[in-house]
Amino acid sequence: MIEHFNPLEGKFLQVLDKGGHVYKILEPKLSTNDLKKIYETMVLTRMADDKALKLQRSGRMGTFAQVLGQEAQVAVGLAMKKEDWFFPSFRELGILLVRGSPLEKFYLTFMGCEEGNRTPKDINNFPVCVPVGSQTVHAVGAAMAAKIKRDKVVTVVAFGDGGTSEGDFHEAMNFAGVFKAPCVFFCQNNQWAISTPRSIQTAAKTIAQKAIAYGFQGIQIDGNDPLAIYVATKEAVEHARQGKGPTLIESLTYRIGPHTTADDPTLYRTEKEVKYWQERDPIKRFKIYLQKKGLWTKKYEDNLIKKCTKQIEDAVAKAEKIAAATKPEDMFRYMYEKMTPVLQEQLEYLHESLGEKEA
Amino acid sequence: MPTLNIVEAINLALHQEMARDKRVIVLGEDVGHEGGVFRVTTGLQKKFGEKRVMDTPLAESGIVGTSFGMAVYGLRPVAEIQFDGFVYPAFDQIISHVARIRNRSRGRFTCPLVIRAPFCGGIRALEHHSESMEALYAHIPGMKVVIPATPYDAKGLLISAIRDPDPVIFFEPKRLYRAIKEDVPEKEYTIPIGKAKIVQEGNDITLIAWGAMVRECQRAAEQMQNKASCEIIDLRTMSPMDTETIVTSVQKTGHCVIVHEAPRSGGLGGEIIARINEKAILNLKAPIERVTGFDTTFPYYQNENNYLPNSSRIIQAIDKVMMF
Ligand SMILES: Cc1ncc(C[n+]2csc(CCOP(=O)(O)OP(=O)(O)O)c2C)c(N)n1
Ligand SMILES: [Mg+2]
């Protein structure tokens, strides 16, 4: 399918349009469970995000980047296998959740606690990556390692439109092409990098077409359409697993909220533009799709919201408890496998200066 | 005379230098239309246009590398890197080209470039937004490293940096951006790079700091005023360092505490001690103490206050030195 969507010919993949109509020939055969999982994780992501915003506004959490509007991303996680590896940037709560990262980890990271980055052992989700674009090379390296070890494992890396300007992105693409790494580049082109529009990131018409210059396939898709994301990612992941090399997916979406809680988007974009994209909301269209399939009812929604509310409350309570138990030694414990004598001395000094005995 | 904070003082300096010299241009991520994430460059694009105030692609190596090209060609770029933790993609350009070109071209090409970046912790920021790695840059032969601690100094030092014939990295203590206001003359003035400032005179002990730590020293000194008369030096320039002001003060007081937020090992505190040892070891009445960050990654904000040196740790160090 991907080869029929040459970005240089202006091709663009959409499976579910904004009104919830599906293009039958492209429709993936997803089980009821999977369809519900997409919807439920999108709703959870939006609600968790909204809770985080409230926590941030009331001083219980620090700065963070909202997903709002980009929830269709959860379909990436569904297209991957459990043993695959995911390398996020910082706006991928949905993918992390659908791949099993505990929700309290998200809150913990943005409550200023490194414990948020401690992914459970059996989940191959890398921690949030703040230096823009730098994670792309890591995903390629991990994919190269999987290939060397003959594991049938694929890596997926997420990054923004801004991320495609960093040198690391280009080096990652080049390595991936040269070594035919089993890696999928998932670009969330939400059209803004803080106040900088996409047009300032690249003079190219699409981001997807950059893949062609590196010798592999690229596709531009509707990033507010969970089915398009699923179809494209699934094919790219299996393509990589079969040893056919990398794919770049440009997922065209829009960040409805501010860049982070520290940002004021009214300085650089119009209400009209935001409204245009709100009408293309991923959750809204997927709800219609499920409803048509007889999978969505008012009762289902009410139960879902109740379930998510409880899950979020529990996660926040757990996170706040762990964050409150942060200790000075947490800074020192993980610097090396074994604490060096100098660090030991510094830690003792810190305890002393705080008037504490070392625990 | 207007009362300005550091953001406003730097903004004023940029406005005045751009008006005065057509070669001065500003570039970086979000510096144009939005005026920067801390609004330091607010109003510049409106006033001087998109050709002289450029929003760039998100690429620090690109920003510094092209600034280098502009500088050697004859412009005077002021490049903004959005945060201290994101200078690293440009590190190769800084260490391999910016700092070297005068020497390696035997003076044929020079790089009058200013790289501005907010630096240091204390604002409960995300990871990579609280770095104090001034020693990395001060260690590079050919670079000048400047860190103002007040609005007045920020304006005068930035003007000097822009007019300097050599590359300057200008770290702005983001924690103080809007924390202090003071009178800042409307008219242009310069403060020499390479000259420390005696913030407060005293006879018993010399406290040396820069950036946000100057204020912590002032707090400590105030609390100690009945016990010890503290002389506080704001180093202001990390490289080239003002050895003379340091040595003269220590010769007078015989005691010294150095305070920096940066990790302890390899921090500039060690360099300062070495210079004191070389020039004034026999004047010392007690070993010099350092109050510093730790040899750890800068922690997420739950532990930020445990990491950052503060007045109570400085007081403990003063006590230790004075009671030696
Ligand atoms: C190397 C680097 N430079 C600058 C920043 C500051 N910064 C954080 S997010 C961001 C914009 C990112 O835009 P994009 O890649 O499109 O992702 P989005 O935020 O839109 O999801 C910037 C400039 C950073 N985190 N890392
Ligand atoms: Mg973006």
Q: CB–CB of A200 and B37 under 8 A? A: no
Residue A255 buriedness (CB in 10 A; 0-12 / 13-18 / 19+): buried
Is the pLDDT at A359 greater than 60? The verdict is no
Of B37, B55, B264, the CB nearest to A346: B264
Residue type at position B135: A
Give the mean pLDDT of B103-118.
98
Name the residues of B annotated as catalytic.
129
Chain centroid to CA A206 = 20
Q: CB–CB of A168 and B294 under 8 A? A: no
CATH of residue A126: 3.40.50.970
Buried residues in B57-92 as b, exposed as e (16+ CB within 10 A): bbbbbbbbbbbbebbbeebbbbbbbbbbbbbbbbbe
Give the mean pLDDT of B244-251.
98
**Residues contacting ligand 1 via CB (< 6 Å):** A 65, 91, 130-132, 160-163, 188, 190, 192-194, 255, 259; B 29, 58, 60, 82, 86, 89
Query: Rounded to an integer, what distance in angstroms lies between the CA atom of residue B193 and that of residue B174?
Result: 20
Chain A residue nearest residue B294, CA to CA: A346
H/E run at residue B62:
helix B60-73
Asked if A291 and A337 sit in the same domain, the reply is no
Asked if A221 and A344 sit in the same domain, the reply is no
Chain A residue nearest residue B265, CA to CA: A342
pLDDT digits (tens, 9 = 90+) for B218-231: 999 999 999 999 99
Is the pLDDT at B97 greater than 80? The verdict is yes
Q: In A, residues 208-227, which contact B (CB 8 Å cutoff)? A: none
Give the mean pLDDT of B122-142.
97
- Residue B208's Cβ-side half-sphere holds a number of Cα atoms within 13 Å equal to 30
Query: Rounded to an integer, what distance in angstroms lies between the CA atom of residue A284 and that of residue A256?
Result: 14
Query: Rounded to an integer, what distance in angstroms lies between the CA atom of residue B210 and that of residue B227?
Result: 23
**Measured in angstroms, how far is the CA atom of residue A117 from the centroid of ligand 1?**
19
What atom in ligand 1 is closest to the CA of residue A134? Answer: 1
What atom in ligand 1 is closest to the CA of residue A201? Answer: 16
Give the per-residue pLDDT at B1: 86
Is the pLDDT at A2 greater than 90? The verdict is yes
Q: Choose which CATH entry (3.40.50.920, 3.40.50.720, 3.90.1150.10, 1.20.120.530) describes domain B197-322.
A: 3.40.50.920
Four-point Cα dihedral A253, A259, A260, A266, nearest 10: -130
Query: Rounded to an integer, what distance in angstroms lies between the CA atom of residue A212 and that of residue A7?
Result: 9
Counting DSSP H helices and E strands in chain A, the numbers are 13, 7
Strand, helix or coil for residue A273: helix
Asked if A71 and A126 sit in the same domain, the reply is yes
Name the pLDDT band for A354 (thresholds 50, 70, 90).
very high
Give the per-residue pLDDT at A357: 62
Q: Which residues contact B96 (CB under 8 A, 6 or more apart)?
A: none
Is the pLDDT at A333 greater than 70? The verdict is yes
Q: In B, residues 302-321, which contact A (CB 8 Å cutoff)? A: 302-304, 306-307, 312-313, 316
Residue nearest to atom 21 of ligand 1 (CA): A160
The boundaries of the domain holding residue A338 are: 327-359
pLDDT digits (tens, 9 = 90+) for A154-191: 999 999 999 999 999 999 999 999 999 999 999 999 99
Specify the number of domains making up chain A: 2
Spans of all domains in chain B? 3-183, 197-322
Give the mean pLDDT of A7-18.
97
Report chain B residues whose CB lies below 8 A from the CB of A111: 302
Residues facing residue B290 across a β-bridge: B258
Query: Rounded to an integer, what distance in angstroms lies between the CA atom of residue A347 and that of residue A313?
Result: 35
Of A63, A131, A133, the CB nearest to B128: A131
Report yes or no on A149 lying in a domain: yes
**Measured in angstroms, how far is the CA atom of residue B29 from the centroid of ligand 1?**
9
Report chain A residues whose CB lies below 8 A from the CB of B125: 62-63
Mean pLDDT estimate for chain A: 97
Nearest to B273 by CA among B253, B294, B289: B289
Give the mean pLDDT of B125-135.
97
Name the pLDDT band for B70 (thresholds 50, 70, 90).
very high
- Residue position matching structure tokens 């794919």: A247
Q: CB–CB of B58 and A166 under 8 A? A: yes
Question: In the sheet that B76-80 helps form, which strands lie side by side, from edge to edge?
Answer: B53-55, B24-28, B76-80, B114-119, B168-173, B144-146, B237-239
Report yes or no on A1 lying in a domain: no
Is the pLDDT at B127 greater than 60? The verdict is yes
Instruction: For chain A, give the longest Cα–Cα distance.
Output: 70
A163 at interface of B, judged by CB pairs closer than 8 A? yes
Report yes or no on A75 lying in a domain: yes
Query: Rounded to an integer, what distance in angstroms lies between the CA atom of residue B137 and that of residue B117?
Result: 12
Query: Rounded to an integer, what distance in angstroms lies between the CA atom of residue B37 and that of residue A55?
Result: 22
Asked if A18 and A57 sit in the same domain, the reply is yes
Q: Which two tokens stand for residue A326?
A: 């942060």
Q: Which two tokens stand for residue B99?
A: 């700092």
Residue B220 buriedness (CB in 10 A; 0-12 / 13-18 / 19+): buried
Nearest to A211 by CA among A240, A241, A191: A240
Taking the CA of residue B190 and the nearest CA in chain A, the distance in Å comes to 33
Residue type at position A17: D
B270 at interface of A, judged by CB pairs closer than 8 A? no
Residues facing residue A248 across a β-bridge: A185, A218
Q: CB–CB of A130 and B316 under 8 A? A: no
Query: Rounded to an integer, what distance in angstroms lies between the CA atom of residue B80 and that of residue A149?
Result: 43
Asked if A344 and A220 sit in the same domain, the reply is no
Beta-carbon contacts below 8 Å between A and B = 115
The environment of the single-atom ion ligand 2, i.e. residues with CB closer than 5 A, is A 160-161, 190, 193
- Beta-sheet strands, E only, within A24-105: 85-87
Report yes or no on A331 lying in a domain: yes
Cβ(A248)–Cβ(A187) below 8 Å = yes
Q: Mutation test of the interface with chain B: which of A107, A135, A200, A326, choosing the one with the most B Cβ atoms within 10 A? A: A200
Asked if A87 and A218 sit in the same domain, the reply is yes
A165 at interface of B, judged by CB pairs closer than 8 A? yes
Report yes or no on A2 lying in a domain: no
Asked if A341 and A234 sit in the same domain, the reply is no
Chain A residue nearest residue B310, CA to CA: A353
Report chain B residues whose CB lies below 8 A from the CB of A133: 58
A270 at interface of B, judged by CB pairs closer than 8 A? no
Of A262, A268, A331, the CB nearest to B34: A268
Give the per-residue pLDDT at B250: 98
Report the 10 Å Cβ neighbour count for B274. Answer: 10
Report yes or no on A261 lying in a domain: yes
Query: Rounded to an integer, what distance in angstroms lies between the CA atom of residue B150 and that of residue B236?
Result: 10
Asked if A349 and A245 sit in the same domain, the reply is no
Asked if A146 and A244 sit in the same domain, the reply is yes
Cβ(B324)–Cβ(B286) below 8 Å = yes
Give the per-residue pLDDT at A358: 54
Q: CB–CB of A328 and B306 under 8 A? A: yes
Residue type at position A263: D
Tell me which DSSP letter residue B32 carries. S
Bin B30: left if φ > 0, else alpha if -120 < ψ < 50, else beta: left
- Residue position matching structure tokens 């007690």: B286
H/E run at residue A220:
strand A217-222
Q: CB–CB of A62 and B125 under 8 A? A: yes
First to last CA, chain A: 60
Report chain B residues whose CB lies below 8 A from the CB of A134: 89
Asked if A227 and A354 sit in the same domain, the reply is no
**Measured in angstroms, how far is the CA atom of residue B181 from the centroid of ligand 2?**
35
Taking CA atoms, B29 is separated from A61, A235, A238, in Å, by: 26, 35, 37
Report chain B residues whose CB lies below 8 A from the CB of A131: 85-86, 88-89, 128
Q: Which ligand is nearest to the CA of A89?
A: 1
Query: Rounded to an integer, what distance in angstroms lies between the CA atom of residue A335 and that of residue A350?
Result: 16
Residue nearest to atom 7 of ligand 1 (CA): A132
H/E run at residue A117:
none
Chain centroid to CA B6 = 12
Name the residues of A annotated as catalytic.
255, 259, 268
pLDDT digits (tens, 9 = 90+) for B203-212: 999 999 999 9
Report yes or no on A137 lying in a domain: yes
Asked if A239 and A334 sit in the same domain, the reply is no
Sign of torsion over alpha carbons A297, A303, A307, A310: positive
Give the mean pLDDT of B178-203.
97
Cα three-residue angle B107-B111-B115, rounded to 5 degrees: 155
Asked if A52 and A177 sit in the same domain, the reply is yes
pLDDT digits (tens, 9 = 90+) for A269-278: 999 999 999 9
CATH architecture of B3-183: 3-Layer(aba) Sandwich (3.40)
